[in-house]
Amino acid sequence: PVGIKKICCIGAGYVGGPTSAVIASKNPDIQVTVVDYNRERIEAWQTDDLPIYEPGLLEVVKFARDGNLTKRTPNLFFSTDVDRCIAEAELILLSVNTPTKSLGRGAGHASELSYLESAVRKIGEVAESNKIIVEKSTVPCRAADTLRDVLVATAKPGLHFEILSNPEFLAEGTAIRNLLNPDRILIGSLKTPRGLEAAQALAAVYGAWVDPDRIITINLYSSELAKLAANALLAQRISSVNALSAMCESVGADIDEVSYAIGLDKRIGSRMLKASVGFGGSCFRKDILSLAYIAESLHLFEVADYWRSIVDINEYQKDRFTRRIVRCLYNSLSGKTLAVFGFAYKKDTGDTRETAAITVIDNVLTEGANVRIYDPLVKETQIRHELKNTTARLDCAEKQLTVCESAYEACTGADAVIILTEWDEFSNQGEPVRRDSGHGRKTEERAGRKVDWARVAALMRRPMFVFDGRNIVDAGALEGLGFRVECIGKA
């Protein structure tokens, strides 16, 4: 197959940005342009204050984008000129969002494919040459057929579009590490000569840095389903451990010990077995609901119920955590102050989509608590935006909610600290925190710092509670400072 020289990535988000940056940095002969209609996002990608935070991302972006600094010809570009970049590219990565549908049939369950459809319509409209179209977005089974149908109907006659599935498996917070050293690269294609040739062309792009043994070429539809299945199984492990954590609290077992014991079994493995307040993020919930919806549309109702129960346990876990807070604080939060440590859905990311913090904060606001939130990375505008549509917000006064610049400011006068994100700086164990510079003032100021829990204790009202929704603190040490500590899955 002919080597690819120009790639256009549609969608400059958490997947499109980092993936394109790594592809460009490893393929100096390929010009990679990331396009998006969101002008603000594209402009931010052109600065050193990138629109998303990922450890190591800025270095990779600068390397490929700013040739003058590295004496390397720049080959990574960001643009809002979607039409031109599509027209010039031989290979197009579709990295647009595929959220849960909010209107009409399947609302709240099925995937919304309209962003993908409009991106593909645009390709059909402006293409003057054959193209390889790659599904990087997570899509329902047989989405490739839909895209092909739209392309055939909209494009100029005689042009050929080969559709590949190449799902992205990066995890936020470790995206660059995952992209540089992936467990596997999955490339799904039709088994036609043209399909196989396109798969080889894409494999060659990854082959610049990924071992050939890790580049797996499979059937197009297996590849689409494998991505949904992988996310469902990862989330299933978390819900299984969280379900066990509820039992631990009643029988006097310790979920961290149980997880450790189970994880030593090589068939099971130790990762993704950490109990918590519940998973968040833009993918797990939506992908499981999409998988369940597909099962239901195939009349596989028991299968759909099985997958949905993973999401049900997650909701149960968030509610259970809030109920414990209310119970410990003498069944009333009215007039009490709660310091929330962490708002991002997990550490080392500024992403707050579907974060468990939204549900927990909504619940405690409804109970009448004053809430003082501190997150090392997430900005106040984003926190307020996420909480805007919660039920509590409808009848709660704005004054119940304060977003703070430091953990100490959040704790002042508080009755309890609630840890909702496992940021290293909140833990009273382990090494001092190291974090890259380059994502706003907050990060640089706080790099290297850890919360001084003795100072926190001096600022709080008595009795003082810590509700550790991530099991990251050494409870014994905090109890020595006078805290009453409640962890997940520990009596």
Interface stretch with ligand NAD, choices 12-20, 186-194, 241-249, 302-310 (CB under 6 A): 12-20
Catalytic residues: 283
User: Does 232 contact ligand NAD by CB under 6 A?
Assistant: no
User: Does 220 contact ligand NAD by CB under 6 A?
Assistant: no
Chain centre to alpha carbon of residue 121? 27
Q: Which is nearer to ligand NAD, 36 or 224 (by Cβ)?
A: 36
Do residues 327 and 268 touch, judged by C-beta distance below 8 A? Answer: no
- Report phi then psi at 41, rounded to 5: -65, -45
Task: Round to whole Å and give the CA distance between 235 and 317.
Answer: 13
Number of H helices, E strands in the chain: 20, 14
Judged by CB under 6 A, the chain residues 273 through 292 that form the site for ligand NAD are 282-283
Give which of 305, 179, 284 is closest to 231, Cα–Cα: 284
- Which helix (H) or strand (E) is 196 found in, with range? helix 193-207
Judged by CB under 6 A, the chain residues 50 through 89 that form the site for ligand NAD are 82
Task: Round to whole Å and give the CA distance between 454 and 477.
Answer: 10
Q: Which is nearer to ligand NAD, 115 or 209 (by Cβ)?
A: 115
Interface stretch with ligand NAD, choices 37-45, 216-224, 233-241, 449-457 (CB under 6 A): 37-45
Amino acid at 102: S
Q: Residue 98 CB, nearest distance to ligand NAD (Å)?
A: 4
Do residues 34 and 9 touch, judged by C-beta distance below 8 A? Answer: yes
Interface stretch with ligand NAD, choices 30-38, 68-76, 218-226, 480-488 (CB under 6 A): 30-38
Q: Residue 275 CB, nearest distance to ligand NAD (Å)?
A: 22
DSSP symbols for 207-230: HTTS-GGGEEEEEHHHHHHHHHHH
Residue nearest to ligand NAD (CB): 13
Interface stretch with ligand NAD, choices 31-39, 193-201, 261-269, 458-466 (CB under 6 A): 31-39
**Residues with Cβ < 8 Å from 406, sequence gap 6 or more?**
374
Give the one residue of 54, 112, 162, 168 binding ligand NAD; rule: CB under 6 A: 168
Do residues 23 and 210 touch, judged by C-beta distance below 8 A? Answer: no
Q: Which is nearer to ligand NAD, 173 or 278 (by Cβ)?
A: 173
User: Does 14 contact ligand NAD by CB under 6 A?
Assistant: yes
User: What angle separates helix 16-26 from helix 57-65, to the nearest 10 degrees?
Assistant: 50
Task: Round to whole Å and give the CA distance between 378 and 381.
Answer: 9
Give the one residue of 4, 147, 170, 210 binding ligand NAD; rule: CB under 6 A: 170
User: Does 34 contact ligand NAD by CB under 6 A?
Assistant: no
3-state secondary structure 107-163: CCCCECCHHHHHHHHHHHHHCCCCEEEEECCCCCCCHHHHHHHHHHHHCCCCCCEEE
User: Does 95 contact ligand NAD by CB under 6 A?
Assistant: yes
Give which of 103, 18, 123, 94 is closest to 60, Cα–Cα: 18
Q: Which is nearer to ligand NAD, 82 or 456 (by Cβ)?
A: 82
Give which of 431, 335, 405, 382 is closest to 53, Cα–Cα: 382
Interface stretch with ligand NAD, choices 9-17, 361-369, 415-423, 454-462 (CB under 6 A): 9-17
Q: Which is nearer to ligand NAD, 162 or 224 (by Cβ)?
A: 224
Give the one residue of 119, 215, 377, 472 binding ligand NAD; rule: CB under 6 A: 119
R_g of the chain, CA atoms, integer Å: 24
Judged by CB under 6 A, the chain residues 97 through 116 that form the site for ligand NAD are 97-98, 115
Total binding residues for ligand NAD by CB under 6 A? Answer: 27
Q: Which is nearer to ligand NAD, 138 or 370 (by Cβ)?
A: 138
Q: Which is nearer to ligand NAD, 282 or 337 (by Cβ)?
A: 282
Contact residues toward ligand NAD (CB under 6 A) are 10-16, 35-38, 41, 82, 95-98, 115, 118-119, 137-138, 168, 170, 172, 282-283
